Amino acid sequence: MVLKSISSRPAQLGTHWLIDLDDCEQLPTQASRLQDIMEHAARLVGATILSSSFHEFQPMGLSGVVVIGESHLAVHTWPEHRAACVDLFTCSPTMDAAPGVEYLQQIFAAGAVSTRQYRRGEAPVT
């Protein structure tokens, strides 16, 4: 089956931010605490929270996702490397990741942060 293209497709379908936080001095050790932090970050970027799921690994490390009406906010921590990786994908053209990134940098006491932004689903040029 071939789906027909909708002629009013936007120039891009979404924006994907990849955030690496290094030299973190205060990574949470409990999934419930990380969930609270990530849900607060979602609110700071203006996201609509739909659900969340977080998991504790043994002997250490946490992962989780906040499903948002605009797509998702995910996180993975490596306490043994003092690092966390976060990704925010949104179809909202107005969402700004900066307030959430600044909050995570502060709450994790990250010494270094790298942020990359990608345009996803760009319409092909014809």
The residues carrying an active-site annotation are: 71, 76, 91
Q: Is 50 left (phi over 0), alpha (psi -120 to 50) or beta?
A: alpha
Question: Residue for token digits 């306490």?
Answer: 79
* H/E element, 40: helix 31-44
Rounded to whole angstroms, how far apart are CA atoms 116 and 83? 16
Rounded to whole angstroms, how far apart are CA atoms 36 and 49? 12
DSSP code for 27: -
